Structure 1
Amino acid sequence: MTDVRTALAQAAGRLDAAGVASARNDAELLLVHVLGTSRAGLLLVDALDDAQAAAYESLVVRREAREPLQHLTASAAFRYRELAVGPGVFVPRPETESLVEWGLGVIDSLDVAHPVVVDLGTGSGAIAGAVASERPHARVHAVELGESAFAYAERNLSGLDVDLRHGDLADAFADLDGSVDLVLSNPPYIPLTAWESVAVEARDHDPALALWSGEDGLDAMHDVAATAARLLRDGGAVGAEHADVQGESAPAVFVAHGAFDEVRDQLDLAGRPRYVTARRVRR
């Protein structure tokens, strides 16, 4: 038998030494996963049996190698839902919840029975699933190009009223042109030149399709702007996430396009530039 508190302390120390920023948190969540309990439930466990200790050790070793926590638990929390994730799909980040919150506010401001919402590059289905579950009167559409990611989106959106399609966000939903109330997107936005600065968990485990976007990181943002201009009705809104260093360059994409006004950059809960919003001008 292995003492739980000793095992946790040792695991947290090893993860910290390996460069894991949230070492204690991850050590606890891995043990929660092994035991099939909750964080509160850990307080009721004094010792691990041999099988539990071996399973925990295996996961700690993999986390020491900087395999993402969410891959090890096969789950990621996003707003009020738990999403299935793993190799081949981008792990949703808490920062994206700010974009969703803004989008829900847009939906709530509309005087229409069934707002039409499009999620460009849905990945795991995080944004589309949040909107569909929290605003079930909305008609939600989502598109994803990556085959593995699309499979995860199918799983995560099962049971929700979402029109999920396999394809490129650059030419998606021609049948919806001019009829969409809200476009949301968390596109790839990392410059190819920033490879060294990207966290190992993302760089080595998130799909390249969800990360890299040209020399300046804005190739996909240009596609989002063009697709949103085509899809949105007059006065419709778009919100797209970007890197915190793109607080000026991402909005500039929408200004330069010419189809938008009210172009503004928005901060996340940590006060960092996080997403750009705009309105479709009248045609």
Structure 2
Amino acid sequence: MKRQPLRLAILEAARILTDAGVASPRADAELIAAHVLGVERGRLPLVPLVDAAVVDAIGQLVTQRAKRIPLQHLIGWAALGGITVDVGPGVFVPRPETELLLEWGLGVLKGREYPVVVDLCTGSGALALAVARARPDAVVYAVDIDRNALAWARHNAEARAAAGDTPIRLYSGDVADGTMFAELDGLVDLVLCNPPYVPEGTHVPPEVAEYDPPPAVFAPESGLAVIRHVVAASARLLRPGGGLAIEHDDTHAQAVPALLRARRVLTEVAGHADLAGRPRFATARRG
């Protein structure tokens, strides 16, 4: 059977996804094609022609994606900080916006040997595992309250350890518990957190509304309820000079920095934009 240009299959896929309202149709089309072919996305230009069966397989996944099933559920993984983690039903899918938060956190650790890092609301474990990959000397703790998220995080942690990365320390716990990690009070170099922060009642895309676990997305008190506990926990956990980075909703540009400044021990409070220029995370240092 005659082979077909991969480029045309990707163009058709992107057209279908555009019509379906997918936010990044071309990127998703290319990632689906790369997944079907078993190659990295950047190597797609090296595959000019493909069999009809490949085109059909791409088309089947594109049909699913057009129904707004998350791309990461279809291909089975999400990327963050140079690693991939497995994701699926029952766990929040890491987003590219979190890359900048991770980058800031790794900057805090420069020049520190054997740093102690805590990832609150770890979900799939992506942030904690990305830190462990970038800093093999770090002691990384990760915690979540949701048993489904912890099952995914445990699976990903075991996979990363099998690949040779430094193991992380994974716990079940509630960030609202003032005794959580009490043995680490004043000893932590970096706290990272991508908590539930979307104000309840906010309209979100179908990929979020129908597939991300609601407790991992939405929070009471205009989206600030969990963030308040994270700020309190961080203020006691951090050592002097330690850093904190919290992702937040783009409506929280003033509110989250204000919560950080309200803690006298926290200094150098700053807000940061995501790749699209929207307010996305706030940082502080322990004075």
Same fold (TM over 0.5): yes
- Structure 1 match to 2:76: 74
Partner amino acid for 1:95?
E
Q: Deviations over 1:180-228 (max 9, x none)?
A: 121111111100031x2x1221121111121101141111110101111
1:185 to 183, 193, 198: 193
Count of residues in Structure 1 that have an aligned counterpart in Structure 2 = 276
| Structure 1 unaligned regions, length at least 5 | none
Q: Residues 23 and 280 (structure 1 numbering): CA distance in 2 closer, same or farther, change over 3 Å? A: same
User: 47, 50, 55: which one pairs with 1:44?
Assistant: 47
C-alpha deviations, 1:72-129, integer Å up to 9, x for none? 000111121111111111111111111111111111144xx32111010111111111
Counterparts of residues 134-283 of structure 1 (less than 5 Å):
134-158=134-158, 159=161, 160-171=166-177, 172-194=180-202, 196=203, 198-281=204-287
Amino acid at match of 2:185: D
| Unaligned 5+ runs, structure 2 | none
2:61 maps to amino acid: L
Distance in 2 (CA, whole Å) between partners of 1:267 and 1:47 is 41
* Whole-angstrom distance in 2 between the partners of 1:252 and 1:109: 29
Render the CA deviation track for 1:226-276: whole Å, top value 9, x for unaligned: 111221223432111112221111111122344422222223344432211
**Residue 26 of structure 1: aligned partner:** 28
In structure 2, what is the Cα distance between the partners aligned to 1:65 and 1:269?
Answer: 26
Q: 1:233 to 1:17 in 2, by over 3 A?
A: same
| Residues 264 and 47 of structure 1, relative CA distance in 2, 3 Å threshold | closer
Q: What stretches of structure 1 move > 4 A for 4+ residues in a row?
A: none
Instruction: Indicate the larger mover: 256-265 or 246-255.
Output: 256-265
Q: TM-score, normalised by structure 1?
A: 0.89
Aligned AA for 1:205? Y
Shift of 1:71: 0.8
TM-score, normalised via structure 2 length: 0.88
